Structure 1
Amino acid sequence: MSSQSSATSVASAARSKDVRPATRLDDIDRILLDQLSRDARTPNNALAALAGIAQSTCLGRVRALTEQGVIRGFHADIDPIALGRDLQAMIAVRVQANARKHLGRIARELVHLQEVLNVYFIAGADDYLIHVATSNSEGLRTFVLEHLSAHPAVAATETILIFEHVRPAHESHVTSCADG
């Protein structure tokens, strides 16, 4: 597997925490989280004003939410097309039955690949859903053959091309993979 990293995935995978059931969110936490989910670049003073709390209190709450794993990270959502990676796909991966004990290790290997945007461990017939972006169909073919089909733990893959990615209403843009 390649040693290159996926900027959007590696940091969160390395320090991913499950939100503890004991984590209680109050109305102020929810206001902060709602605004940060809309715009992670919201300045602390604006967050504090929105929540009706002091700036120092706001900073402390955001730090605590990060330490508790409620906020898993802050990142730039970069359009892969701007980086010359015009073709996006979701690849369903089924792992060999005898390799199931290595599922975590396989995910950690995948997030280091340049083409990988996200790795989802899923329920059902398949084990992973991998969101990738490549420069063209040859790049996608090479990725699947070299990094998935050739992997001894992989039993099967299914590739689904993404034509367009429409974000929820609270996010105000559409990422299009093709002009339609």
Structure 2
Amino acid sequence: MPSDDSPAPGAAPLSPNDVRPAATGLEPRTTAPVVLDAVDHRLLAELAADARIPNNALAQRAGIAPSTCLARVRALRDKGVIRGFHADIDPALSGRPLQAIIAVRMQGSARSRLTSFLRELGALPGVLNVFLLGGAHDFFVHVAAPDADGLNDFVVENLSVNPGVALTETNLIFQHVRAPVF
């Protein structure tokens, strides 16, 4: 039986931009670091800048043959270095112009539920990112809301009513710049 990465018989070979299930960040991590060379880093930088770049253009920028490029990108995906390809959606233009980082501290009795709560938070509408932390707070939750009332509703309905949540602190985001990954 072909794997998810195998093209159907007679189909065109996969490109670096073929869709895979979205990574959640909760997948198991390998314990050994992956050794990357200069070509791998160049591929990652180009894909981070434009995940839709065609394989032949990516190969040209990395200075390698298209078949080599395809194999290297596939290997980086298989090793978990590339977790997925994503659209960078503007929250404001998609109806959620108000962004915030909500710091969450859990009750001591809820510490055994950190991983499950992380998953629950990540599944909520309007959540862009969730970070499990070490330090004074247990989570940072990056959210986008349609307005101040929507943000308030999110905090009240999803965090404040949860008996495991000890404290929330909402910080508004005025501007955001996406930093290059590499």
After TM superposition, the score normalised by the length of structure 2 is: 0.82
Counterparts of residues 13-52 of structure 1 (less than 5 Å) = 13=24, 16-18=27-29, 20-52=31-63
* Cα deviation, residue 17, structure 1: 4.2
* Cα deviation, residue 15, structure 1: 5.9
Report what 1:123 is aligned to.
134
Question: RMSD between aligned alpha carbons?
Answer: 1.8
Relative CO higher for 1 or 2, CA cutoff 8 Å, sep ≥ 6?
Answer: 1
Counterparts of residues 141-152 of structure 1 (less than 5 Å) = 141-152=152-163
Report what 2:151 is aligned to.
140
Name the structure with the higher helix share.
1
CA contact 1:20–1:68 (8 Å) conserved in 2? no
Aligned residue among 53, 67, 85 for 1:74? 85
Highest CA radius of gyration, 1 or 2? 2
1:100 aligns with 2:85: no
Q: Which amino acid aligns with 1:137?
A: A
CA contact 1:119–1:129 (8 Å) conserved in 2? yes
Deviation digits for residues 54-79 of structure 1 (CA, Å, limit 9, x no counterpart): 21211111111112111111111110
Aligned residues: 161
Deviation digits for residues 5-47 of structure 1 (CA, Å, limit 9, x no counterpart): xxxxx93216634354341001110110111111111111111
How many percent identity over aligned positions?
54
Report what 1:166 is aligned to.
177
Q: Secondary structure at the match of 1:12?
A: coil
Q: Which amino acid aligns with 2:123?
A: H
CA contact 1:19–1:70 (8 Å) conserved in 2? no
After TM superposition, the score normalised by the length of structure 1 is: 0.83
In 2, Cα distance between the equivalents of 1:111 and 1:47?
32
Deviation digits for residues 76-97 of structure 1 (CA, Å, limit 9, x no counterpart): 1110111111111000001111
Q: Which amino acid aligns with 1:149?
A: S
* Unmatched runs of 5 consecutive residues or more in structure 1: 1-9, 172-180
After superposing on structure 2, the runs of 4+ consecutive aligned residues of structure 1 that deviate more than 6 Å are none
